[in-house]
């Protein structure tokens, strides 16, 4: 009999929030280790400057724990988010985590499920979408990764500071997903009944209809004030769970 499949996103693991890292490592050992599969749908780290950062003292226990998990019976998949899209094959080889495309349509526990980080659905935030297109371009990434690790980290720190200022000046609704963008994504993937994403930090379940097809959109929560994950059991039933941080 198949076991559970788990979904998480937006942990934003970083040195400034060590309690979240500690809770996550315990959760991996006690909860994820009992599951068949774990999907990390982006923004696993607060930022990722390149795979040569794996030797940082902060990253080592996280990568070791992921490697231990993948060496057991749990398949782990990682989708890029807007904070960690520079994760590459070296990370995958070091941890056993499989990198997956965004979006990804897959079949699990008897139903089709569409997975995405969610930032590409926030089309009302025009300035962010333009920035996203810039930094996801292969030429930009190649130039960026050619810099030293210290230079990359300095650039990211400045970009994060600007982003926080810009977010404080934006209306809350434009940073949520756009309903038309959601409908188009579902339409392009032949109307899967389940869509799961993160990014917005607004955990909820939304029932909606696209061209006469019923769908439910599950939004994953962040790990700032509590751990948050979604569990699909072997019958395809979904339930949101939380753990204290």
Give the torsion through C-alpha atoms of 137, 143, 149, 154, to 10 deg. -80
* Structural domains counted in the chain: 1
Peptide bond preceding 88: is omega within 30 degrees of 0, i.e. cis? no
Asked if residues 28 and 34 have their Cβ atoms less than 8 Å apart, the reply is: no
Q: 38 and 75 in contact (C-beta within 8 Å)?
A: yes
Q: Is the dihedral of CA 14, 18, 23, 29 positive or negative?
A: positive
Q: Beta strands 238-244 and 226-232: pairing type?
A: antiparallel
The whole domain housing 173 covers 5-244
pLDDT, residue 1, reads: 54
Contact 9, 39 (CB under 8 A): no
Per-residue pLDDT of the chain (245 residues; tens, 9 = 90+): 578 999 999 999 999 999 999 999 999 999 999 999 999 999 999 999 999 999 999 999 999 999 999 999 899 999 999 999 999 999 999 999 999 999 999 999 889 999 999 999 999 999 999 999 999 999 999 999 999 999 999 999 999 899 889 888 888 888 899 999 999 999 999 999 999 999 999 999 999 999 999 999 999 999 999 999 999 999 999 999 998 87
The domain that holds 49 is classified in CATH as 3.60.21.10
C-alpha–C-alpha distance, residues 70 and 21, integer Å: 18
CA 118/CA 120 separation, integer angstroms: 6
CA gap 130, 111 in Å, rounded: 34
Q: Phi-psi category of 160—alpha, beta or left, where left has phi over 0 and alpha has psi -120 to 50?
A: alpha
Write down the pTM of the prediction: 0.96
């Amino acid at each position: 009999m198949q076991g559970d499949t788990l979904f998480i996103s937006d942990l934003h693991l970083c040195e400034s929030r060590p309690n979240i890292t500690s809770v996550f490592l315990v959760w991996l050992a006690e909860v994820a280790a009992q599951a068949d599969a774990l999907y990390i749908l982006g923004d696993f780290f607060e930022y990722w400057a390149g795979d040569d950062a794996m030797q940082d003292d902060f990253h080592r226990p996280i990568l070791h724990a992921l490697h231990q998990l993948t060496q057991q019976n749990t398949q782990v998949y990682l989708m890029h988010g807007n904070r960690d899209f520079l994760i590459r094959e070296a990370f995958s080889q070091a941890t056993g985590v499989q990198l997956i495309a965004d979006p990804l349509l897959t079949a699990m526990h008897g139903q089709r499920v569409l997975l995405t980080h969610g930032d590409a659905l926030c089309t009302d935030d025009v300035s962010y979408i333009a920035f996203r297109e810039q930094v996801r371009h292969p030429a930009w990434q190649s130039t960026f990764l050619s810099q030293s690790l210290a230079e990359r980290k300095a650039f990211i720190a400045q970009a994060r500071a600007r982003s926080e200022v810009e977010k404080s000046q934006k209306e809350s609704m434009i940073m949520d997903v756009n309903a038309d963008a959601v409908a188009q994504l579902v339409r392009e993937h032949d109307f899967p009944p389940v869509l799961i994403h993160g990014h917005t930090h607004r955990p909820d379940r939304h029932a909606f209809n696209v061209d006469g097809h019923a769908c439910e959109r599950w939004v994953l929560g962040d790990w700032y004030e509590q751990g948050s994950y979604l569990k699909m059991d072997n019958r395809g039933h979904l339930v949101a769970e939380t753990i204290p941080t």
